[in-house]
Amino acid sequence: PAALMYHCRQPTIQDRNVSHIFPRHTKSNLPVVARGEGVYLYDQSGKAYFDGSGGAAVSCLGHGDTDVTEAIKTQLDSIAFAHTSFFTSDPAEQLADKLITHAPKGIDRVYLVSGGSEAMEAALKLARQYFVEIDQPQRRHIIARKQSYHGNTLGALATGGNEWRRAPFAPMLVETTHISPCFEYRGKRAEETTLDYGLRIANELETEIQRLGEDSVIAFVAEPVVGATAGAVPAVQGYLKRIREICDQYGVLLILDEVMCGMGRTGTLFASEQDDVVPDIVAIAKGLGAGYQPIGAMLCSAAIYKAIENGSGFFQHGHTYIGHPVASAAALAVLTKLTDGGLVERCAMMGDKLNDALQHAFGQHPNIGDIRGRGLFRALEFVEDRSTKTPFAPDRAVHKSLKKECFEAGLICYPMGGTIDGRSGDHILLAPPFIMEDAHIDEIVSKLQIAINRVL
């Protein structure tokens, strides 16, 4: 009878008289998730939701993958936890080996953490310590980009490009400067080619390094394909190559944040492969654990590792759960499916199909200005006027209404109202599981259509 009751109504967190959860939004009224299977999540009323954003580009394998859950159970039966001050573990070693096998050439070491912000925090601290080790302690500046997100811990937050996120914490943040993002739809001038646009924007880095002082910059931080803040915006071809050149010229480290766009999401295991650029440090998370365990990683070049090895021999960092055996075992199972199981290629193939379907259904919509992305990392940008690219007024909160209507229709998508030159912009991000089938593309399009018709 108790089970039957669960199916009769849709309990929400506000049905509970007392909740001790500190939620994201105190006024939210969320259904309780009951289970997940394949590309669907189910709430306690039995309603199905197509997980069109994989949470926030996390669930690349969908839900209930028994290869991963079995790997977790097996690991739990041998050893759940041993502190990395005393032991290394087989799953952590194997995971690091496999990541390096597939990482861009030159990347040599893996530092395992528990999520994306931790990966970015480790990246920033390693970059700074590297310069201390090689006797360039005067380097202290970080350069990042507007319209970016790198996490919510203080270091990562400082590098993020949305001023509204940083503002309340400004006195607590490391000084970071922000140059323009590479955002073709918003930034390219009518008279310039895409290539020239990319070079012009990349050259802002050189100007900023010169402004701050040629030997005073630690690192430049960027997402190769910008995730939530701008909606699946890939850098134009040539941009990251020019960035790499500038970094090399001034001895600045290139930190790529692939927390959202990495682990196959854009159709290659690392997004930067498509830009033919090797970073000095790269951060990954989300798809690494695919939601089965909280895990992230910071990967760095052999040169950086050597500097620590030949110097103090100790990266002055660390958390209790780094290299967690169960999280590592889960990630190893995920990575095996992505690489040996052909799921990265499948993501590229399904991504092309999804893009075709979105272009076909919405390419001429008067309120959709841009449909963009790579692989199964796609976004639609909504505008008041397609010909002038004028955004909707912020108080219309179009992205929020779209999220709500999609959710009603049984589609989870990830909305965001970005800030474009001080004006509001609305987009929704799609990042479905790589296991999706052709029929699911129709389901995404038809549910989006319902939501768009209701909102616009």
Indicate which single residue of 43, 121, 133, 257 sits in contact with ligand PLP (rule: CB under 6 A): 257
Provide the residue type at 246 as one letter. Answer: I
Q: Which listed range, 2-10, 36-44, 237-245, 257-265, lies at the site for ligand PLP (CB under 6 A)?
A: 257-265
Burial 301-317 (b: 16+ CB within 10 A, else e): beebbebbeeeeeebee
- Contact between 418 and ligand PLP (CB under 6 A)? no
- Contact between 232 and ligand PLP (CB under 6 A)? no
> Can you tell me the distance from the alpha carbon of 437 to that of 431, in angstroms, rounded to the nearest whole number?
14
Indicate which single residue of 187, 198, 227, 432 sits in contact with ligand PLP (rule: CB under 6 A): 227
β partners of residue 1: none
Indicate which single residue of 260, 354, 358, 444 sits in contact with ligand PLP (rule: CB under 6 A): 260
- State the residue number with the nearest CB to ligand PLP: 116
Largest Cα–Cα distance in the chain?
A: 71
Indicate which single residue of 43, 65, 206, 223 sits in contact with ligand PLP (rule: CB under 6 A): 223
Indicate which single residue of 285, 330, 332, 428 sits in contact with ligand PLP (rule: CB under 6 A): 285
Q: Which listed range, 42-50, 103-111, 146-154, 171-179, lies at the site for ligand PLP (CB under 6 A)?
A: 146-154
- Contact between 116 and ligand PLP (CB under 6 A)? yes
Cβ atoms within 10 Å, residue 148:
22
Indicate which single residue of 131, 149, 382, 434 sits in contact with ligand PLP (rule: CB under 6 A): 149
Structure tokens at 122: 């480790």
Q: Which listed range, 95-103, 254-262, 300-308, 328-336, lies at the site for ligand PLP (CB under 6 A)?
A: 254-262
- Contact between 56 and ligand PLP (CB under 6 A)? yes
β partners of residue 418: 425
Q: Residue 104 or 341: which CB sits closer to ligand PLP?
A: 104
Reference 125, options 166, 96, 156; nearest CA is 156
Least Å from the CB of residue 426 to ligand PLP = 18
**Contact status, residue 387 vs residue 380, Cβ threshold 8 Å:** no
In which residue are the tokens 């991000």 written? 429
β partners of residue 12: 31
**3-state DSSP of 111-146:** EEECCHHHHHHHHHHHHHHHHHHCCCCCCCEEEEEC
Give the CB-side neighbour count of residue 146, counting CA atoms within 13 A: 16
- Contact between 115 and ligand PLP (CB under 6 A)? yes
Q: Which listed range, 126-134, 244-252, 255-263, 435-443, lies at the site for ligand PLP (CB under 6 A)?
A: 255-263
Residues in contact with ligand PLP, total (CB under 6 A)?
15
Q: Residue 257 or 443: which CB sits closer to ligand PLP?
A: 257
Q: Which residues bind ligand PLP (CB under 6 A)?
A: 56, 115-117, 120, 149-151, 223, 227-228, 257, 259-260, 285
